[in-house]
Structure formats: structure tokens, C-alpha cells
Amino acid sequence: MTRTHTPTILLAAVLILLAACAEDKIGGTVVPDPPGFAENQVLVEFSPMALNTPLLCYEGRLTSELRTELLNQRFTIDTLITNKLMADGLRDIFALELRRVSALNPCSDTSFITSRGDTIPETSFNTFLVYLDPDRGPHHIEAITQWLESSYPSYIENAEPNYTFHRE
């Protein structure tokens, strides 16, 4: 009989192993989370099919006021994430909300022209800051990012510590 493990069980096992290593209970060492990143935040680039994209669309011209409003939007996991298993996985790592890192409109800003004149697809509107519950930490950000990428390869293009967008 083949045993299968859910992503939640695998994450729990990784986090327990990391905690044990950090306390030197099993003689291993853990590479600490790198300095300089925003705690309790993960920068995640989702695949287009992972998001309820129409919620991100807007009409009209992008003004500075609209840009500020868009970048301050907060989305619940159930509102924005289309895959129930991935939504459950995000809750399992104590994700509270998602915030935009780009004010681009996924319904109209679908490509851009490079300095060489090439037209390439624009996908930065699929990147979000995932805020983790600070009261449920400390969070092992490197382990979480690796777990997200390996558990949901069809839905997550990239996950990494937030070195760039330091917002509260």
C-alpha cells in the first residue's frame, strides 16, 4: 500500500526538523534566514490560473491616487486564490492576507516592449506579498518558500523572502 503525504504534513515535518536542528537535538545545523528581509512576509509570484484575476482589473487611467489605492489593497486568501488546496496550504503557514506589489492591470497591461524593441508578456501583476501571522511565528521563511514552490508547482512560479518591498 502506498502512503501519500499532504503538503500540510510535509510542511509540519520540515518545520519540526528545522526547530529540532536549531536546538541541536539531532546534531544538525540550520542555515538561518538571511538578514535584510521583511519578517513575516513572503514574496510570491503566482501563475495566472492561481488567481481570481478579474478582481485585480480596473478601468480608466492609472493616476497616482489610484496607484496608491491599488498598492494598499488587501485580499483575503479565499477571495483571491482559486485553488482550494493551495488556499488551505497558505492558511497552514499562517498566511493572513495578500497585497499587490504592482499597479498594473491584468486585463489591459498584458505585455510590454523592451529597450531592444521586443514585446514580452507582462506578469508582475501576479506577484503578491503574502503576510504571515506574526503572533504564530517565528516563521522559517526559507523553508516556507521552498515548501510553497515544491507543493504547488502549477500555481506558484516563484517564492522568496521579501527583500524588496518593506511595507507594514
Cα–Cα distance measured from residue 29 to residue 3, given in angstroms and rounded to the nearest whole number = 29
Pairing of strands 127-132, 95-100: antiparallel
Domain that holds residue 92: 7-161
Cα–Cα distance measured from residue 98 to residue 52, given in angstroms and rounded to the nearest whole number = 12
CB 99 within 8 A of CB 76: no
Q: What is the pLDDT of residue 26?
A: 38
Cα–Cα distance measured from residue 41 to residue 44, given in angstroms and rounded to the nearest whole number = 9
Q: How far is CA 23 from the centre of its chain?
A: 28
By CB atoms closer than 10 A (0-12, 13-18, 19+), residue 80 is buried
- 105, part of any domain: yes
User: Letter for the amino acid at 128?
Assistant: F
Q: What is the pLDDT of residue 12?
A: 52
Q: Please indicate whether residue 163 or residue 92 has the higher confidence score (pLDDT).
A: 92
- 1, part of any domain: no
- 166, part of any domain: no
Q: What cell numbers appear for 85 in the block?
A: 488546496
Q: For the chain, what is the domain count?
A: 1
- 134, part of any domain: yes
- 11, part of any domain: yes
Q: Please indicate whether residue 149 or residue 13 has the higher confidence score (pLDDT).
A: 149
Q: What is the pLDDT of residues 100-126, one digit of tens each?
A: 998 888 888 777 788 888 888 777 788
CB 110 within 8 A of CB 20: no
Q: What is the pLDDT of residues 20-73, one digit of tens each?
A: 444 433 344 444 555 667 778 999 999 989 999 999 999 989 899 999 999 999
Cα–Cα distance measured from residue 109 to residue 32, given in angstroms and rounded to the nearest whole number = 38
pLDDT band at 18 (very low <50, low <70, confident <90, very high): very low
- 90, part of any domain: yes
- 167, part of any domain: no
Question: Could you say which DSSP state residue 6 is in?
Answer: -
129 three-state secondary structure = strand
- 168, part of any domain: no
Run of H or E residues at 87: helix 84-92
Q: What is the pLDDT of residue 3?
A: 45
